[in-house]
């Protein structure tokens, strides 16, 4: 009996009227955990009942604690007929199981009903008493922390990065069970919600076990997905990166002058890994499927005899190649590095990392994007009771049933192997920024995986690295503060940390090729690094990770999207799967071409955060690639785009081409201005191979031809090199047209799909997270590929335009983490969902910073390692007289406090800007932004006015990023992973499909906020909406929607606050301790 | 290609004040888009009509979802569905309860019943306020009426606390409720020149000064039971000839040489005094209360206006008229007189304009 769960129902408010006669409600509450149920008394005739119940106590296994949610049902008592359900609240207990996260869950939760939505609120208190259990065969993994954040969480340091963990569980979808025909939609939805909640709990527990097995104590970059396979079942799968995290002492984290190394290893929390080390591990954990979920699923089975699978030849995206050859060992340095890394990585099945942001020094080199897709045919569940022709299955019935998840496992295994081999081909031993996804249409399922091949610093993965002493202080260099500028400024790095004398400087090191230049895996033009001039770099770099903090970037970045639509004949089964798999390589190729063209058009040379999504519909395939383009200072300047006609004889044709060329050139020039890209003039070509300075790389329309280019290899790459687009058919014309039709962003807006925008540093605390969903109906059935492409492109562009318009009040601002998800929910329907955050920044200081940056880069480009540091220094020395009065100490010119100095400098500039505008130093607007005080004050003012239910609602910020600008995250409270279904049978009355979805999304936000607030938090970071499945039947006046969201609940404090006082937690504790004494 | 579904939901609810006003004014989405386009938002932000339409639809939906909460504004502060900063909440509430002067003038003093609501389309046609907006405003009046009807305590304060309105708006609502409760006649042609603010001011006078904090506080305290007899006693001022003459001479002595309209004042004194004292006496009859304003205009304001009194003349006259009564040795009802005249004086001064 390792745990005692306690729950107390305090009160309800705003309940719906359940009794028409009295306009009141006789409410009571059922509290259920596992198979135990408690009830409160009926509180008669009130819409604001005060139950103030006793503590309901559940004595349960910690295994159940991890799997099961606490289920709270509010009902209306009815003497003569059955009690009516008002709604439910599911509370995930998991955050209470980790000693570091929340200690109590206390607050108002929206009462949710799958048919009516939110119906009032209920105040609940939940606590858990855990008993230490050293059972060596335990199935639980309490205490392993989970983070959605794909970087090392802000108040931790990574002692060790263990590597890839994955797991999946399978069950039958309740929606497709026979019983679904007789039960109500409400019962069906609730069964589904509960099942998925159970399955995610189980999955998390199993992953936790694997982490413990590896000796870790946390999972970072936890990515959980659902595959609604329809009749063949429901798969919940997750991947993540196992780490050993040490909590940073808040004091040392806030004080930058303290040496980072002072965060002692002894602070390695009360990690379960320690506990586990003492007792031998139970290795049988993984294969045991004894959870209730599995026993339920064993009554059905999945025949996998007719498994159909097509493996799609995959492209490796680096530069512009599309072929793969195995790279051989290179110079001695690389060999050494590789050997070290390999020894650290070789025992791992998959050296994958779901992280996209790394501690400085972790990433050594980047190879390029690797991706793999595979088309699979899902099998129907054959109910043996109905008599099945394949009777042999009945014999080994149990084993087959237990085998089922293994099928899906095998599918993913196959894909991961492919990724691994791609990475190897790029001379890399690891894959970072790794993610997996699926798209399902009827019985066809495309599995996709992608990541960035990379060389990693082996030190982070070796056992006992903590004991290695001083040389490992790098690990704790993880910037503790949420400000991006600080991160950049903090980058001074001693070159000896890598253990190699000739290690590359970190600002360009990751760009250097990991593969052998004489035996390249694909054609690329190599030059010596424009930064250190010592190592070779490719001309273009594509990655799925975030821009490394230490990277030197010229100008700003921008969102680049490639969009593609391909028609497909309707088909069934294998024919369909073959057709799809035949189309895929072409789509990938075209998306890649589009990305490349758009990148050149913006005069940039690298893509970060690349995410390619391919979605299947019955009669079309959609492809959407999004990435953030940047100009890496270390890489050569991209050449322009040249258009070459096929029939040069025709005069009018020539004219047409030249006007187009002019438009392209104009656009490039305009973009350079827009993104502030003024690369330093190319000094002189150090690599003096006398090869024609106008190397033409042709871009052909078909893949087969491109292989011709493979043999050719060119080392030189002058700045005049142009990228030639040959117009040899109408497709190409279309391409160019679409290239130019991308509408420019309105003034004051920037956008990116990565964590932060390169080139913008001075965020204000103003932010707005949003979700926007659009569904389009294609009315004319007979559309060509071009027609569809145009529609799809317009659709995305219009959506972006709408976003810009909506958020115009935040100008100047940047849309960060702009994450598009496309789907084809039905024939002729295209659904696009976007979740992103708009963050405003300070224009005055930005301008100044830009200017300083340009000046600095013009003066001594060679020494420019950390643009931010440099600009901070140069400007502060220029402004010395003005800086002094503000109390900026001159002694601050030591390296360790460069961040401090920078932020002060920014503050100063901002202050000055305000002074100029308003003529007074004391400005209200800046104080409003920086300190939470006015907000609090106005709220308390308000609360004296508002009548019932005293405390005001906690403001909960949400962001898809891993940080909140100008704040410091002081505590992670646990993972938020919620799944909701909403259904309606009165669609018109609820305002049509838009009204229905609008209120549902608002409700989902509300429920996430309520859970975070109840945990004592005030923000969700790394928030994402992973699933939004919308189905409608307007004729029947019905609609249904499923939404899955996740994120990390945190407590943040504003940077200006001196003392870090976690809000709310304390009051929650005091209120519960009193009641505790009675137990 | 058609947009089947289009939603935008922000963690902090985005609301455009301009669009909110369109929604409150009962504009359809199409009309609102048209007006916005003319307003020049487009050039400002390089957006298309489609974008504008999508934005307007989103906001209209948000407002519709919020409307339920606005009906009991206290809920807005502790609901969980929308995250709205407190100052925006205050704006939403204040604007929702703000009404059109022209509209309220039409329904002022009418019973807030279903019958009146049915006639709103006529009001809408007459005032140019959309029917939708008329209905919202009417329902607001009714809602406030219903809530404060059952509450104890000062009227304005009750409204302010319960509906989280600004002091000014709460006072206006108090006036509306007061008028509705007493069914004051305001629709007569002679009263057309009076604005809502005139009436609101008078209502304020009648409520503030005379309402003792009791359950009957929505009735003018001039009608309070203990006051009834006292008001009748004032009649002595016009029935007792000596008293009337004495009063007149006192007033005339004080006024002589101070105003151009002195002759008219002197000539009309008896008529005017009769008018005012008769109104007081009439107030004792509950049914006659509703004629308060029309009486005031017919018996006092109109005669003065035809004699071309200035506002200054009026103030001077009323001051001396009130004060002179104190010197009359046989007049014993000084307290009642002061109370009555205080209200009447400020009402008349407010109402005395073109």
Query: Across chain B, how many H-helices and E-strands are there?
Result: 21, 1
**Gap from A497 CA to chain B (nearest CA, Å):** 43
Look up residue A286 and give its DSSP letter. Answer: G
Query: Per the structure block, which two tokens stand in for B23?
Result: 């929604």
Q: Please tell me the predicted confidence (pLDDT) of residue B329.
A: 77
The residues near A627 (Cβ < 8 Å, ≥ 6 apart) are A542, A559, A560, A561, A595, A607, A608, A609, A610, A611, A753
Closest CA to A1001 of A1044, A1033, A964, A961: A1044
**Which residues from A are below 8 Å from B10, CB to CB?**
768-770, 806
Number of cross-chain residue pairs from A and B with Cβ atoms under 8 Å apart: 161
**Which residues from B are below 8 Å from A794, CB to CB?**
1
**8 Å CB contact of B14 and A956:** no
**Which residues from B are below 8 Å from A112, CB to CB?**
none
Check: CB of residue A434 under 8 Å from CB of residue A353: yes
**Which residues from A are below 8 Å from B90, CB to CB?**
942
Q: pLDDT, tens digit, for every residue of B303-323?
A: 888 888 888 888 888 888 888
- ipTM of this model? 0.87
Q: What is the CA radius of gyration of chain A?
A: 29
- Distance CA(A141)–CA(A97), nearest Å, equals 9
Confidence class of residue B338 from pLDDT cuts 50, 70 and 90? confident
Q: Please tell me the predicted confidence (pLDDT) of residue A380.
A: 53
**8 Å CB contact of A945 and B161:** yes
List the single residue in A121, A779, A808 with the smallest CB-CB distance to B45. Answer: A808
List the single residue in B8, B13, B74 with the smallest CB-CB distance to A947. Answer: B74
- Distance CA(B293)–CA(B301), nearest Å, equals 10
**Which residues from B are below 8 Å from A1005, CB to CB?**
9, 11, 83
Query: Per the structure block, which two tokens stand in for B268?
Result: 């009309």
Residues 57-116 on B with a CB inside 8 Å of A are 57-58, 61-62, 64-65, 74-75, 77-83, 85-87, 89-90
Q: Please state the separation of Cα A461 from the chain's center in Å.
A: 23
**8 Å CB contact of B80 and A1010:** yes
**Which residues from A are below 8 Å from B55, CB to CB?**
802, 805-806
The residues near A825 (Cβ < 8 Å, ≥ 6 apart) are A775, A831, A1029, A1030, A1031
Distances (CA, A) of B277 to A434, A566, B234: 92, 91, 7
Query: Per the structure block, which two tokens stand in for B210?
Result: 């005379």
- Distance CA(A650)–CA(A144), nearest Å, equals 70
Confidence class of residue B219 from pLDDT cuts 50, 70 and 90? low
Residues 37-56 on B with a CB inside 8 Å of A are 44-48, 50-52, 54-55
Q: Please tell me the predicted confidence (pLDDT) of residue B81.
A: 92
pTM for the predicted model, two decimal places: 0.80
**Residue B337 host element (H or E):** helix B334-351
List the single residue in B7, B52, B86 with the smallest CB-CB distance to A1001. Answer: B7
Q: Please tell me the predicted confidence (pLDDT) of residue A738.
A: 64
- Distance CA(A924)–CA(B86), nearest Å, equals 18
**8 Å CB contact of B5 and A769:** no
**Gap from B83 CA to chain A (nearest CA, Å):** 7
The residues near A943 (Cβ < 8 Å, ≥ 6 apart) are A950, A951, A952, B77
**Which residues from B are below 8 Å from A995, CB to CB?**
61, 64
List the single residue in A774, A776, A1002 with the smallest CB-CB distance to B82. Answer: A1002
Q: Please state the separation of Cα A602 from the chain's center in Å.
A: 25
Nearest CA in chain B to A991: B61
- Distance CA(A438)–CA(A641), nearest Å, equals 35
Nearest CA in chain A to B165: A945
User: Phi first, then psi: what are they for A594, rounded to 5°?
Assistant: -60, -45
**Gap from B212 CA to chain A (nearest CA, Å):** 24
**Residue A475 host element (H or E):** none
Check: CB of residue A523 under 8 Å from CB of residue A321: yes
**Gap from B64 CA to chain A (nearest CA, Å):** 10
- Distance CA(A1003)–CA(A121), nearest Å, equals 12
- Distance CA(A986)–CA(A992), nearest Å, equals 9
List the single residue in A776, A791, A998 with the smallest CB-CB distance to B4. Answer: A776
* Angle (nearest 5°) at CA B105 between B101 and B110: 140
DSSP states of A594-640 as a string? HHHHHHHHTT--EEEEEEEEEEE-SSEEEEEEEEEEEEETTSPPPP-
Check: CB of residue A952 under 8 Å from CB of residue A1028: no
**8 Å CB contact of A1006 and B81:** yes
Above pLDDT 70, what percent of chain B? 92
Q: Please tell me the predicted confidence (pLDDT) of residue A640.
A: 72
- A753 three-state secondary structure: coil
DSSP states of A206-219 as a string? HHHHHHHHHT--EE
Query: Please, what sign has the CA dihedral across residues A664, A669, A675, A681?
Result: positive
- Distance CA(A892)–CA(B199), nearest Å, equals 69
Q: Please tell me the predicted confidence (pLDDT) of residue A165.
A: 92
List the single residue in A795, A943, A997 with the smallest CB-CB distance to B5. Answer: A997
Confidence class of residue B245 from pLDDT cuts 50, 70 and 90? confident
N-to-C CA span, chain A: 17
| A812 cis-preceded (ω within 30 degrees of 0) | yes
Q: Please tell me the predicted confidence (pLDDT) of residue A238.
A: 94
Q: Please tell me the predicted confidence (pLDDT) of residue B168.
A: 92
Helices (H), B17-73: 17-24, 29-39, 41-45, 49-70
List the single residue in A768, A831, A1001 with the smallest CB-CB distance to B12. Answer: A768
- Neighbouring CB atoms inside 10 A of B161's CB total 18
Name the most confidently modeled range: A141-145, B28-32, B199-203, B297-301: B28-32
**Gap from A805 CA to chain B (nearest CA, Å):** 6
Q: Please tell me the predicted confidence (pLDDT) of residue A128.
A: 87
**Gap from B44 CA to chain A (nearest CA, Å):** 10
List the single residue in A774, A829, A958 with the smallest CB-CB distance to B11. Answer: A958
Q: pLDDT, tens digit, for every residue of B36-71?
A: 888 877 676 667 888 899 999 999 999 999 999 999
Q: Please state the separation of Cα B140 from the chain's center in Å.
A: 14
Closest CA to A91 of A1049, A1059, A1070, A1069: A1049
Query: Per the structure block, which two tokens stand in for A962?
Result: 């891993």
Check: CB of residue A567 under 8 Å from CB of residue A580: no
Task: Split chain A (1079 residues) into runs of 10 and give each run's mean pLDDT.
Answer: 86 90 90 92 92 92 84 90 89 82 87 94 91 60 86 86 89 78 85 90 90 89 89 88 82 39 36 33 28 29 35 40 34 51 60 87 86 83 37 35 64 90 87 92 89 83 43 36 34 34 60 73 74 81 88 87 88 86 89 88 90 90 93 83 66 76 82 78 42 33 31 34 55 63 79 85 88 88 78 89 90 90 89 94 69 47 35 37 36 34 40 37 33 37 38 86 90 92 91 93 96 93 92 89 94 69 39 36
Check: CB of residue A958 under 8 Å from CB of residue B83: no
- Distance CA(B139)–CA(A138), nearest Å, equals 64
- Distance CA(B40)–CA(A747), nearest Å, equals 17
For tokens 């209209």, what's the residue?
A: B60
Closest CA to B276 of B297, B305, B262: B297
User: Which residues lie across from A819 on neighbouring strands?
Assistant: A835
**Which residues from B are below 8 Å from A807, CB to CB?**
14
User: Which residues lie across from A452 on neighbouring strands?
Assistant: A369, A432
């Amino acid at each position: 009996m390792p745990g005692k769960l306690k729950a107390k129902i305090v009160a309800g408010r705003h309940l719906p009227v359940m009794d028409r006669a009295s306009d009141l409600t006789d409410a009571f509450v059922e509290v259920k955990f596992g198979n135990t149920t408690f009830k409160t008394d009926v509180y008669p005739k009130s819409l604001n009942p005060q139950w103030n119940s006793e503590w309901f106590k559940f004595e349960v296994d910690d295994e159940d604690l991890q799997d099961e949610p606490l289920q709270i049902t509010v009902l209306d008592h009815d003497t003569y007929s059955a009690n009516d359900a008002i709604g439910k609240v599911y509370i995930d207990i998991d955050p209470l199981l980790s000693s570091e996260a929340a200690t109590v869950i206390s607050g108002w939760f929206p009462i949710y009903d799958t048919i009516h939505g939110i119906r009032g609120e209920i105040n609940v208190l939940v606590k858990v008493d855990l008993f230490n259990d050293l059972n060596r065969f335990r199935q639980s993994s309490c205490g392993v922390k989970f983070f959605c954040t794909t970087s090392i969480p802000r108040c931790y340091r990574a002692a060790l990065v263990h590597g890839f963990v994955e797991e999946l569980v399978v069950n039958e979808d309740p929606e497709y069970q026979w019983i679904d025909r007789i039960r109500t939609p409400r019962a069906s939805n609730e069964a589904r919600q509960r099942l998925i909640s159970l399955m995610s709990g189980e999955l998390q527990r199993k992953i936790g076990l694997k982490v413990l097995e590896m000796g870790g104590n946390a999972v970072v970059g936890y990515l959980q997905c659902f595959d609604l396979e329809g009749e063949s079942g429901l798969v919940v799968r997750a991947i993540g990166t196992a780490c050993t995290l040490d909590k940073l002492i808040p004091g040392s984290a806030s004080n930058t002058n303290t040496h980072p190394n002072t965060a002692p290893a002894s602070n390695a929390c009360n990690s379960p890994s320690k506990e586990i080390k003492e007792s031998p591990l139970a290795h049988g954990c993984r294969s045991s499927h004894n959870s209730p979920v599995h026993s339920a699923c064993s009554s059905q089975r999945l025949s996998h005899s007719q498994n159909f699978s097509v493996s799609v030849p995959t492209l490796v995206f680096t530069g512009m190649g599309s072929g793969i050859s195995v790279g051989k060992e290179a110079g001695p340095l690389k060999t050494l590095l590789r050997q070290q890394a390999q020894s650290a990585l070789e025992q791992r099945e998959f050296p994958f990392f779901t992280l996209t942001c790394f501690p400085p020094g972790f990433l050594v080199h980047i190879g390029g994007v690797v991706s793999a897709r595979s088309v699979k045919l899902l099998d129907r569940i054959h109910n043996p009771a109905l008599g099945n022709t394949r009777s042999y299955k009945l014999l080994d019935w149990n084993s087959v049933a237990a085998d089922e998840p293994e099928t899906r496992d095998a599918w993913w295994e196959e894909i991961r192997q492919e990724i691994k081999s791609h990475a190897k081909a790029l001379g890399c031993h690891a894959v970072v920024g790794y993610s997996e996804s699926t798209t399902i249409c009827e019985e066809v399922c495309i599995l996709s995986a992608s990541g960035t091949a990379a060389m990693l610093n082996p030190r982070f993965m070796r056992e006992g690295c903590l004991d290695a002493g001083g040389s490992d202080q790098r690990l704790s260099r993880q910037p503790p503060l949420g400000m991006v500028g600080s991160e950049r400024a903090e980058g001074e790095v001693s070159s000896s940390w890598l253990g190699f004398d000739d290690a590359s400087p970190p600002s360009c090191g990751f760009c250097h090729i990991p593969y052998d230049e004489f035996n390249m895996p694909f054609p690329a033009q190599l030059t010596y690094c424009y930064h250190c001039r010592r190592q070779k770099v490719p001309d273009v770099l594509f990655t799925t990770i975030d821009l490394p903090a230490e990277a030197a970037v010229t100008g700003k970045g921008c969102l680049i999207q490639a969009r593609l639509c391909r028609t497909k004949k309707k088909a069934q089964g294998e024919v369909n799967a073959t057709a799809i798999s035949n189309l895929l390589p072409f789509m990938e190729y075209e998306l890649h071409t589009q990305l490349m063209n758009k990148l050149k058009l913006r005069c940039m040379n690298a893509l970060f955060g690349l995410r390619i999504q391919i979605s299947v519909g019955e009669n079309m395939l959609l492809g959407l690639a999004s990435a953030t383009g940047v100009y890496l200072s270390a890489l050569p300047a991209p050449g322009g785009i040249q258009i070459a006609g096929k029939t040069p004889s025709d005069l009018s044709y020539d004219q047409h081409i030249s006007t187009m060329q002019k438009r392209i050139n104009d656009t490039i020039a305009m973009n350079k201005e827009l993104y502030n890209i003024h690369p330093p003039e190319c000094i002189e070509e150090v690599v003096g191979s006398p090869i024609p300075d106008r190397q033409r790389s042709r871009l052909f329309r078909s893949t087969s031809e491109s292989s011709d280019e493979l043999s050719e290899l060119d080392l030189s790459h002058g700045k005049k090199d142009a990228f030639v687009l040959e117009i040899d058919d109408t497709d190409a014309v279309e391409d160019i047209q679409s290239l130019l039709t991308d509408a420019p962003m309105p003034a004051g807006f920037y956008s990116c799909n990565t964590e932060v925008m390169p080139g913008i540093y001075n965020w204000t605390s103003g932010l707005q997270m949003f979700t926007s969903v659009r569904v389009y109906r294609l009315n004319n059935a007979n559309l060509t590929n071009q027609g569809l492409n145009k529609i799809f492109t317009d659709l995305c562009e219009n959506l972006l335009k709408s976003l810009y318009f909506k958020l115009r009040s935040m100008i100047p601002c940047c849309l960060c983490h702009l994450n598009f998800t496309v789907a084809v929910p039905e024939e002729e329907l295209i659904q696009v969902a976007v979740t992103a955050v708009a963050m405003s920044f300070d224009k005055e200081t930005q301008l100044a910073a830009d200017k300083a940056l340009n000046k600095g880069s013009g003066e001594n480009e060679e020494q420019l390692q950390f643009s931010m540091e440099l600009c901070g220094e140069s400007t502060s020395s220029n402004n010395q007289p003005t800086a002094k009065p503000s109390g900026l100490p001159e002694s601050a010119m030591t390296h360790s406090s460069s961040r401090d100095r920078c932020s002060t400098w920014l503050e100063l500039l901002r202050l000055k800007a305000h002074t100029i505008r308003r003529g007074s130093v004391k400005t209200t607007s800046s104080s409003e932004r920086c300190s939470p005080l006015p907000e609090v004050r106005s709220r308390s003012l308000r609360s004296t006015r508002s009548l019932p239910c005293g405390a005001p609602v906690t403001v909960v910020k949400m962001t898809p990023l891993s940080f909140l600008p100008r704040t410091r995250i002081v505590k992670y409270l646990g993972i938020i992973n919620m799944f909701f279904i909403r259904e309606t049978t009165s669609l018109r009355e609820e305002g049509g499909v838009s009204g229905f979805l609008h209120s549902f999304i608002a409700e989902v936000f509300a429920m996430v906020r309520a859970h975070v607030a109840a945990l004592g938090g005030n923000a969700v970071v790394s928030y994402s909406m992973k699933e939004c499945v919308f189905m409608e039947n307007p004729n029947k006046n019905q609609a249904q929607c499923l939404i899955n969201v996740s994120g990390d609940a945190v407590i943040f404090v504003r940077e200006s606050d001196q003392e870090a006082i976690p809000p709310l937690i304390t009051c929650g504790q005091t209120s519960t301790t009193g009641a505790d004494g009675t137990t | 290609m058609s947009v089947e579904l289009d939603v935008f939901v922000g963690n902090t609810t985005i609301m455009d004040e301009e669009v909110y006003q369109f929604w409150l004014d009962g504009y359809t989405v199409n009309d609102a888009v048209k007006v916005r386009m003319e307003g020049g938002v487009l050039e400002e932000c390089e957006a298309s009509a489609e974008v504008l339409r999508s934005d307007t639809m989103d906001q209209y939906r948000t407002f519709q979802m919020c409307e339920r909460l606005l009906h009991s504004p206290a809920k807005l502060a502790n609901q969980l569905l929308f995250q709205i900063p407190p100052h925006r909440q205050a704006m939403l509430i204040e604007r929702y309860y703000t009404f059109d002067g022209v509209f309220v003038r039409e329904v002022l003093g009418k019973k807030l019943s279903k019958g009146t609501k049915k006639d709103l389309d006529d009001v809408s046609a007459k005032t140019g306020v959309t029917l939708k907006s008329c209905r919202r405003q009417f329902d607001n009046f009714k809602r406030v009426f219903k809530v404060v009807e059952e509450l104890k305590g000062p009227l304005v304060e009750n409204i302010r606390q319960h509906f989280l309105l600004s002091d000014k708006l709460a006072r206006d609502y108090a006036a509306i409720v007061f008028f509705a409760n007493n069914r004051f006649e305001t629709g007569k042609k002679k009263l057309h020149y009076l604005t809502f603010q005139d009436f609101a001011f008078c209502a304020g006078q009648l409520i503030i000064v005379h309402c003792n904090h009791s359950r009957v506080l929505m009735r003018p305290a001039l009608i309070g039971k203990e006051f009834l007899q006292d008001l009748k006693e004032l009649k002595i001022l016009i029935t007792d000839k000596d008293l009337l003459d004495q009063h007149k001479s006192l007033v005339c002595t004080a006024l002589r040489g101070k105003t151009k309209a002195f002759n008219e004042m002197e000539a009309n004194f008896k008529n005017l005094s009769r008018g005012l004292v008769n109104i007081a006496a009439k107030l004792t009859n509950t049914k006659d209360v509703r004629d308060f304003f029309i009486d005031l205009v017919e018996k006092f304001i109109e005669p003065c206006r035809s004699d071309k009194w200035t506002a200054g003349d009026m103030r001077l006259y009323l001051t001396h008229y009130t004060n002179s009564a104190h010197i009359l040795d046989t007049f014993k009802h000084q307290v009642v007189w002061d109370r009555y005249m205080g209200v009447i004086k400020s009402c008349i001064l407010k109402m005395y304009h073109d």
